[in-house]
Amino acid sequence: MAIGVQSNEIHDHFNKLFSAILIEQQKYDHIKAADQEKREILTQKLKEFEQLKGRGFFYPFMASGRGHGPFVELIDGSIKYDLINAIGVNLLGHSHPIYIKANLEAATSDTMMAGNLLSYQEPYELSQTLLNAVKKSKLKHFWFSCSGSFAGDTALKILWQKKAPNYRLIAFQKSFAGRSIAMQDVTYNPAYREGMPQTISVDHVPHFDYKNPEKSLEMTLDALDDLIKKNGNTYCAITIELIQGEAGFIYGTKEYYEGIFKWAKSHGIYVWVDEVQSFARTHELFAFQMFGLDEYVDVVTVGKVLQACGTFYTEELNPKPGLIAGTFNGSIASMNAGKAIVRYLTEGNFYGENGRIKEIEELFKSQFKRLSEGSCKGKIPYYGGVGTMLSFEVGDATTETTNKFMKTLFENGIISFSAGKEPTRVRFLLPLSLLEEHIQEIFSILERTILEVI
């Protein structure tokens, strides 16, 4: 606690408050059905919120602000396993001591948000921590944004400035890059930009085909060569999610990525890796580190787990003054949390072949194997993924069946979300706070729900 006001009294209160909050939050440590008398409150508040937003919610969910580890409480008093955690944000789990501490520390500061003009120690320390973690690469700078989409916009602007007038961008089929005016064109699904004018020129090539792994690189390289034949070398960069999140966790091999990146380098096309969803969730802090691709990356975007968002880039890509700025870096609490999260993850035993993330992945995969070969034979046509990014298909894997399954699973006490389309997958973005006993219970709920719905 070195930032903000300090005194023995504050220190004392801080420690007492920290313990008192943690003790209270730790009570939310098991699943529980809704309280009969609170059901109406949830229905009413959601109905009102839906009116305000002008649109319905997928799940009848409103958090109470209470929860611990993998558990989250709703305002109807029900407690569920949260296996999607705000689409990948709460990797450490609910009310993790790091989150509580980051918020309390921020309260000793004189402001809420850190900005670009008059700097604070928090964004300085977080930048230092992040750049320290990518020392093996050529990434030398980090610029904060307030969303993953805006980190993507920053990436694109610095690439455009460097490569002007080569403004075309290569992206991948099924990719998701966000919903800003630029990123909606990078995102593959045209339904997400209905009625929008096209603002940037993006060409999408096929990603790794897990059903045809040997031919995948050749197919992608052929598509890349065709682009150059068609448009000339008018490209600034190639952007890729190494683990495609919204597609349902499609990913290739080191050889596949190296083949693509060598092709890009030989054409003077920069490599931009989008790690907004994969950051911190695979077998290394960055997915590009897990695949050993440090030497190739020129730009990397991050968000979600970091509790802040931003863009890494090389010395060579440092833009001219005036191109990128903005009022906010992010909140003081999120900067505090981001720094502590990176330190906790990299100093603890989470990464590598013997790290906890790999262990959780294997525990889940062996349970999926048991169900798909046993009581749920023929009902789980696919399961897979990497690290804490796991997905599976149920029944005919249509959106209709998958949505019905997820809603029943929610009622039975587990929150998941979908990814991909026909086949539509059930997606888990797992928290690290899962214990073996939780995993046993999760799979007995999954088994029951599969047998109920499929």
- SS3 at position 121: helix
Distance of CA 288 to the CA centre of its chain: 14
Which string of x and - marks every residue 256-275 that binds ligand PLP (by CB under 6 A)? ------------------x-
Strand 250-251 and strand 243-244: the pairing is: antiparallel
Q: Please select the residue that binds ligand PLP; options are 178, 259, 310, 338, rule is CB under 6 A.
A: 178
Would you count residue 122 as binding ligand PLP (CB under 6 A)?
Answer: no
Residue 69: which H helix or E strand, with range? none
Comparing CB distances to ligand PLP, the nearer of 304 and 438 is: 304
Residue 444: which H helix or E strand, with range? helix 436-453
Comparing CB distances to ligand PLP, the nearer of 122 and 246 is: 246
Which string of x and - marks every residue 297-326 that binds ligand PLP (by CB under 6 A)? ------x-----------------------
Please give the residue whose beta carbon sits closest to ligand PLP in the complex: 148
Would you count residue 149 as binding ligand PLP (CB under 6 A)?
Answer: yes
Q: Please select the residue that binds ligand PLP; options are 46, 84, 92, 177, rule is CB under 6 A.
A: 177
Comparing CB distances to ligand PLP, the nearer of 133 and 186 is: 186
Would you count residue 188 as binding ligand PLP (CB under 6 A)?
Answer: no
Dihedral sign, CA of 414, 420, 421, 423? negative
Q: Per CB under 6 A, which of residues 66..95 are in contact with ligand PLP?
A: 87
- SS3 at position 19: helix
Question: Of the listed pieces 143-151, 227-235, 280-288, 383-391, which binds ligand PLP according to CB under 6 A?
Answer: 143-151
Comparing CB distances to ligand PLP, the nearer of 384 and 413 is: 384
- Tokens representing 266 are 């030989």
Query: Where does 243-352 show beta strands of DSSP type E?
Result: 243-244, 250-251, 270-274, 299-302, 309-314, 328-331
Comparing CB distances to ligand PLP, the nearer of 307 and 367 is: 307
Would you count residue 154 as binding ligand PLP (CB under 6 A)?
Answer: no
Would you count residue 184 as binding ligand PLP (CB under 6 A)?
Answer: no
Beta bridge partners of 145: 309
Sequential DSSP letters for 324-382:
S--SEEEEHHHHHHHHHHHHHHHHTT-SSTTSHHHHHHHHHHHHHHHHHHTTTTTT--E
Would you count residue 334 as binding ligand PLP (CB under 6 A)?
Answer: no
- Tell me the C-alpha distance between 172 and 85, whole Å: 26
Backbone phi, then psi, for 330, in 5-degree steps? 155, 180
Beta bridge partners of 314: 139
Q: Please select the residue that binds ligand PLP; options are 74, 75, 133, 276, rule is CB under 6 A.
A: 276
Query: Shortest gap between Cβ of 163 and ligand PLP (angstroms)?
Result: 21
Comparing CB distances to ligand PLP, the nearer of 243 and 453 is: 243
Would you count residue 176 as binding ligand PLP (CB under 6 A)?
Answer: yes
Query: Shortest gap between Cβ of 95 and ligand PLP (angstroms)?
Result: 22
User: Helix, strand, coil % (nearest 5) of the chain?
Assistant: 45, 20, 40
- Residue with structure tokens 């023929």? 378
Q: Per CB under 6 A, which of residues 207..266 are in contact with ligand PLP?
A: 241, 245-246
Q: Which residues bind ligand PLP (CB under 6 A)?
A: 87, 147-149, 152, 176-178, 241, 245-246, 274, 276-277, 303
